[in-house]
Amino acid sequence: MSVLKISTPGRICLFGEHQDYLGLPVIAAAINKRINIKATERNDNILKIKFNNLNSTDEINLSENINYLNEKDYLRSSINVLKRKGFEFSQGFDIEIFGDIPINSGTSSSSALVVAWFNFLIKISNQKIKLTPEEIAYLAYESEVLEFNEPGGMMDHYSTSIGNIIWLQTTPCIKVKKINAELGDFILADSEEPKDTKFILSRVKNNVTDAVNKLKNKFDDFDLQKISIEDLERYKYEISEDQFELLNGTLRNRDITFEAEKVLTANEINKIRIGNLLNEHQKILKDVLQISTNKIDKMIEIALNHGALGAKINGSGGGGCMFAYAPKNSEKIIEELKKITHRTWLIKTDKGTITEYD
């Protein structure tokens, strides 16, 4: 009996943090921290699931109506999304899920799981239709975000499904571009501070979208995709001071992302400029969006003082991980960061979701 194996990476957001759910572009990189699914056939139609890292289990009967047990029941929502699209399932499996992506730390552990799960479900479906990484990514987005009306965007799903470095733009339509840039080493470090992703996303997203909607309703020509920072001044007194500052920071992050794309796709990559852009991005995330923490700020300072070219918080913020861009001096930076947190790793960009059979 063959063993089906699925492996999917986590991701870091290089540029465009808190941008994708606004329809603005992002640049993300899949990393060599991965989640894995290992499955063997059963003689029934039940999925018996063991979460090795969490020391917990679950069971799904594929022949029954599937109801959600909690508000983040992504394994069941994925099955329902596929069933609505005509997929059918009749074969049960014993399943192990395990990996080394930091959980609830901004490195996309949940989305990587959903992408891996969709890859698995499509392989075991009666239809056995081959889908592209982009198609798997959108299904995962449907299952995780749309199904539960969550505030996130598509970056995590496309990044972990496609792999390596991607440029993603979702407005006016979904556009993905692979970026073949060899950047070298990064360092990922977990602050071990708990974070409430849903709360932080909602707070930042709701404030910005409320301001955008106010301006769109009053001014037909207002367009978050095209407006310059200079032109934003004319709307300063149409929204609150806080909303204006958030919008200003949003546009600055947007422009940093566009510049980063040019640097990353140049014939010769200016790594120092990439580091500087990461630092500019972090300053806005810290001072304007206010999603950083004192501990993460200290970790970033240590990394920069010991040779990192750039560093920023990773993910929605309020805790979780930061990363440093360190094509040189990575060993020294890791040594110093481990004085604050032992959860520090050397990472590189990595391939997207993959399937293997034993």
pLDDT digits (tens, 9 = 90+) for 98-147: 999 999 888 999 999 999 999 999 999 999 889 999 999 999 999 999 99
Stretch 83-100: mean pLDDT: 97
Same domain (yes/no): 13, 122: yes
Assess whether pLDDT exceeds 80 at residue 277.
yes
pLDDT of 152-171, one tens digit each? 789 999 999 999 999 999 98
Same domain (yes/no): 264, 205: yes
Same domain (yes/no): 144, 177: yes
pLDDT of 197-255, one tens digit each? 677 777 788 889 999 999 999 999 999 999 999 999 999 999 999 999 999 999 999 99
Same domain (yes/no): 176, 193: no
Same domain (yes/no): 207, 314: yes
Same domain (yes/no): 209, 69: no
Same domain (yes/no): 208, 175: no
Q: Bigger pLDDT: 200 or 51?
A: 51
Same domain (yes/no): 222, 321: yes
pLDDT at 200: 75
Q: Give which of 88, 79, 91 is closest to 117, Cα–Cα.
A: 79
**CB-count burial class (<10 Å; 0-12, 13-18, 19+) for 234:** exposed
The CATH number of the domain holding residue 275 is: 3.30.70.890
Give the Å distances, CA to CA, from 29 to 13, 36, 167, 191, 342. 6, 18, 9, 20, 23
Q: How many residues appear in the chain?
A: 358
Same domain (yes/no): 106, 192: no
The CATH number of the domain holding residue 58 is: 3.30.230.10
Same domain (yes/no): 206, 174: no
pTM: 0.94
pLDDT at 205: 82
Its domain, for residue 12, covers 4-181+351-357
Same domain (yes/no): 115, 8: yes
pLDDT at 265: 97
Residue 1 pLDDT grade (very low, low, confident, very high; cuts 50, 70, 90): low
Alpha helices in the chain (DSSP H): 74-84, 109-124, 133-141, 155-162, 197-218, 229-232, 241-264, 271-287, 294-305, 330-337
Assess whether pLDDT exceeds 80 at residue 196.
no
pLDDT at 346: 98
pLDDT at 152: 78
pLDDT at 53: 93
Contact 322, 312 (CB under 8 A): yes
Our count of domains for the chain comes to: 2
Same domain (yes/no): 210, 81: no
